Amino acid sequence: MKARKSKDIQKALQKQGFESFTEKDHHQLHYLVVDGKKQAIFTYVGKAPLSPELMDTLSGQLQLSEEKMAESFFSGRLNPEKYVGMLREKEIIG
């Protein structure tokens, strides 16, 4: 997976229904919120660009096992309802 800028990742997370919580000086915690409830899907994002290795780790944290779906997620092409539906289908969220 290709490297991406932190701000692009944060925009993609926000589009998919993630909310940001400042935890540390240079990292933000992003939780998926569905129907007003925090879900067990979360990640930390710093200010520096994310390397391909970190993008793979981030994809795993977000339960994006297929690279094609991960690319769609991070490029903003994945429909938020489809992402949540996939998580429900895998019984990751209720």
Query: Which tens digit of pLDDT belongs to each residue from 1-46?
Result: 899 999 999 999 999 999 998 766 678 899 999 999 999 999 999 8
Specify the pTM. 0.87
Strands 27-34 and 37-46: antiparallel
Query: Which tens digit of pLDDT belongs to each residue from 40-85?
Result: 999 999 889 999 999 999 999 999 989 999 999 999 899 999 999 9
Where would I find the H helices in the chain?
6-15, 52-61, 67-75, 80-89
